[in-house]
Amino acid sequence: MQSGKRLPSLFQTLAGALILTASAAAHAAVTTTAWGTADGKPVSLYTLTGKDVTIRITNFGAHIVSIQAPDRNGKLADVALGYNSLAGFQADNKTYMGSIVGRYGNRIAKGTFSLDGHTYHVPANDHGNALHGGPDGFDRKVWTGREIPNGVELTLISPDGEMGFPGTLTAHVRYTLIGDALHINYSATTTKSTVVNLTNHTYFNLAGEGHGDILGHVITINADHYTPTDATLIPTGKLDSVAGTPMDFRTPTAIGKRIHDNFEQLKLAGGYDHNWVLNGHENSGQPTGLHLAAKVVDPSSGRSLTVTTTQPGVQFYPGNFLDGSFTGAAGAKYAKNFGFCLETQHYPDSPNHPAFPTTELKPGETLHSETVFTFGVEK
């Protein structure tokens, strides 16, 4: 956080808990198995096994396949929505479930942006806008994977002009399991000036995937402001205060408590689907080390999820558009609000809003960011 900004006492407490977690961290075992083919390329399944948490990841779309975590009684459940087979992920071209989205996660208005005097167009795939890199984004690609200590590194080379983006982009995503914390480290380089916004799109249900909706989960978001949107979910360019609105999650609040309030922003999105401006980043967006973004607790199981990041924003999305079209790993149809996403990111449509933190990456520079999902239990 920037100097002069004081975190609420809740977040100070969370920060101390994370330090204790890190000090007690244990190494994870990593195994690799074949998981089929996609686009004629071999697909692998990587299993990261820690003391309490086990995570499976595939190089198809860099998806998180499953996350086994204990409840307050030590009972394990898969807390990430997903599928038992590669075919399940291949068939789902709507939800981005568990994937790394890019080259530009979230939305670009009308799929159009300008850099260095040139205008670029990304195919529109969401109400006239480009969403998550266009219709053939990073979530549909077979990445190159290799085991590393405590995890896996996935690499993707996106050619110059792919989906309209300039420059050959080389992206690396490292998933490592340290204790009960999943670290996601992103890096990227480019051959031409381009825009980049990489994030993970896992849907969580801390009661267990398929175990009903998440409206009773209690969430805290470390943000005094959010970016309001128009009817197509493109930011207006303003940073509105959360105070006195259903967007205020500075104190622990059930996800469903105000989701149906008579509030214009909720009506436009069918619920929450907005970017929160994390405290300390209102005028910067520059990495300042890991800072707390959000915490979610499921009162029924006691499971908790704490999110820390170097990114300036987080998109909170509680599965408004899940509609029962897809059947998950345990056989349940994923209906509306059956999972929530916390997508750490730069702000949506940043290339078209000069006042937002920049997402431009130039040749000779290296993009770096990190997000940590820490799983815990509250008695």
Residues known to be catalytic: 201, 343
**Local structure of 17: helix, strand or coil:** helix
Measured distance CA(307)–CA(286) in Å, rounded: 18
Give the ranges where 80-238 is alpha helix by DSSP (H).
86-91
* H-assigned helices in 24-131: 86-91
- Per-residue b or e along 63-96, where b marks 16 or more CB atoms closer than 10 Å to that residue's CB: bbbbbbbbbeeeeebbbbbbbeebebbbebeebb
The helix/strand/coil state of 259 is: coil
Quick one: CA dihedral 330, 56, 215, 109, positive or negative?
A: negative
Residue 108 falls in which region: left (phi positive, over 0), alpha (psi -120 to 50) or beta: beta
Is residue 299 helix, strand or coil?
coil
Check if the beta carbon of residue 276 is closer than 8 Å to that of residue 106.
Answer: no
Count of all residues that appear for the chain in the document: 379
Select from 127, 171, 137, 138 the least CA-distant residue to 273: 127
Backbone angles phi and psi of 9, in degrees to 5: -60, -35
What are the beta bridge partners of residue 112? Answer: 121
- Rounded to whole angstroms, how far apart are CA atoms 26 and 127? 46
Distance between CA atoms of residues 210 and 233, nearest Å: 28
Rounded CA separation 304/295 (Å): 7
> What is the C-alpha to C-alpha distance for residues 268 and 216, in angstroms, rounded to an integer?
22
DSSP β-bridge partners for residue 60: 142
Contact 145, 62 (CB under 8 A): no
